[in-house]
Each structure stands twice: as C-alpha cells, then as structure tokens.
Amino acid sequence: MSDNRIRVTVWNEYGDGQKKPPVSDVYPEGLHETIAGFLNKDKGITAKTAVLSDPEQGLSEDALNNTDVLVWWGHMNHHLVEDQNVARVVEHVLRGMGVVFLHSAHISKPFKALLGTSGHLSWREADERTRLWAVNPAHPIAEGVPVNFVIDHEEMYSEPFGIPEPQTTVFISWFQGGNVFRSGVTFQRENGRIFYFQPGHETNPTYHNEVVQRVITNAVKWARPCIRSSGPVSVCPNDQEPLEKL
Ligand code: ZN
C-alpha cells in the first residue's frame, strides 16, 4: 500500500532558552513537538521533528529528500545555522520542497536567501491582543478559518515588513497598540511554495490555538510539491535537438 501522506519536518532551533521556563511552561517538549503533534492528527500528514543540535543540524541531504514540506521556527540562533545547510534548504525549495516559515523565522537565513530581502520589521513584546483578518478568504490556506479571529496575547510585529511583494497576502493583522502587519503571505521560488505566518512567540500558547493549527495544517497541504526535480536546479542543459525543423 502506497503512503501518500505529506511528509513534514518541523525544524526548531530549540536553544537552551526554550528548555526552561517560561517557554517550557507553554511547550514542555518544545514547540516543534506541539506543531508536529497537531499536524499528525491529520490523516493526510506524517510529521517528524528536527533541531539544530541534530547531526548536520537536522538538514542533511537525506532528511530533505524525505521532506515534502519543511516547517521552520528559529529566533536566537539564526546565525548558528551553517551556510552549507542553508544552501541545501534553498536548493530543495527551488526543486519543489514546500516551506512554512513561522514567526521569528522572518530573519532566518533560508527566509532571507529565498526572498532576497532583509525580512526586517519592528516588534514589541507586550502580550497584546491581535486580530487576524483573512483578506483572501478563498485561498486554500484560509479554508475553514474565520474571516477574522483574535489571539489574546502575542508579540507585535509591524509594517513596514522587508519582503518582496507577496504572491498572495492571505492574512493581515491588527495589534492592540495600533500596528498592522501582513501576517500571512505566500511566495513561489521556482518549483517551491513558501508561506510565512506571523503568530507564534515562544512564551505565548499560540500553537495550542485551534485556528492557528488549522492555518498551519492548511499551509502544509498548500505547500506540498506539485512537481519536484530530482537533480540540481543550477544546470542549464544545451538543447541540441529542436522539436521542429530548423
Ligand atoms: Zn517572538
């Protein structure tokens, strides 16, 4: 029997700060395990986890070859991700692997390498209320998601956001302090689909929120590769055999 489930790797830097309170109060096993846990409740998905301290930082050729969609969470240790592993992630996305960047992944090395911009924004840790709006409710990532929904406590991220013009803006967010942010945006780089989603500060229970879980589950399904080239994308073959007579 063939297994047609989407193979997801949830990658988290999982630094020391995540292994003690207040983060461990919210995510005792690490937020990557919480995310993989709700993804695995979907019969169409099989999710495993990887962390920075794994061999080859959890980003080996074999690991990525067996990943349809990579989910990425990082914050304090972006600089520790080795450039060769970043290049490998980028190569796999260009071939067709999907990737979902969460929260502070907006300045992770693979995010910046894929988008070519700074990823910069302004931020405030004040546990403020945020209301997300599905500005494209017909998009597959918004399926089953209320047109607007509230997260009671989140870190504020504000425009201007240093990204290219998105392929689709699926969500925008309003924050209690008055800021707004393009909080759910899609891109495509060659064969690979990319989604960025803002909620998910590590001291807030955001990944326990069922609406957030629905968005991330939808995003994984949307980002599943349509096609995936087996070889490197950097090859430009000389096409010697024209299809028509010259
Ligand atoms: Zn944060």
Residue 204 Cα, ligand 1 centroid: separation in angstroms?
9
Residue 53 Cα, ligand 1 centroid: separation in angstroms?
21
Residue 70 Cα, ligand 1 centroid: separation in angstroms?
20
Residue 103 Cα, ligand 1 centroid: separation in angstroms?
6
Residue 156 Cα, ligand 1 centroid: separation in angstroms?
8
Residue 203 Cα, ligand 1 centroid: separation in angstroms?
8
Residue 199 Cα, ligand 1 centroid: separation in angstroms?
8
The model carries a pTM of: 0.96
Residue 202 Cα, ligand 1 centroid: separation in angstroms?
6
Architecture in CATH of 6-223: 3-Layer(aba) Sandwich (3.40)
The DSSP-derived string for the chain is -----EEEEEEE---GGGGSTTHHHH-TT-HHHHHHHHHTTSTTEEEEEEETTSGGGG--HHHHHT-SEEEEE-STTGGGS-HHHHHHHHHHHHHT-EEEEEGGGGGSHHHHHHH-S----EEEEEEEEEEEEESSTTSGGGTT--SEEEEEEEEEEES----PPPSEEEEEEEETTS-EEEEEEEEEETTEEEEEE----TTS-GGG-HHHHHHHHHHHHHHS-S---SS-TT------S-SS--
In tens digits, the chain (246 residues) has pLDDT values of 468 999 999 999 999 999 999 999 999 999 999 999 999 999 999 999 999 999 999 999 999 999 999 999 999 999 999 999 999 999 999 999 999 999 999 999 999 999 999 999 999 999 999 999 999 999 999 999 999 999 999 999 999 999 999 999 999 999 999 999 999 999 999 999 999 999 999 999 999 999 999 999 999 999 999 988 887 777 788 888 999 999
Task: Report the pLDDT value the prediction gives residue 231, as an integer from 0 to 100.
Answer: 77
Residue 133 Cα, ligand 1 centroid: separation in angstroms?
20
Residue 139 Cα, ligand 1 centroid: separation in angstroms?
26
Task: Report the pLDDT value the prediction gives residue 116, as an integer from 0 to 100.
Answer: 98
Residue 209 Cα, ligand 1 centroid: separation in angstroms?
16
Residue 198 Cα, ligand 1 centroid: separation in angstroms?
9
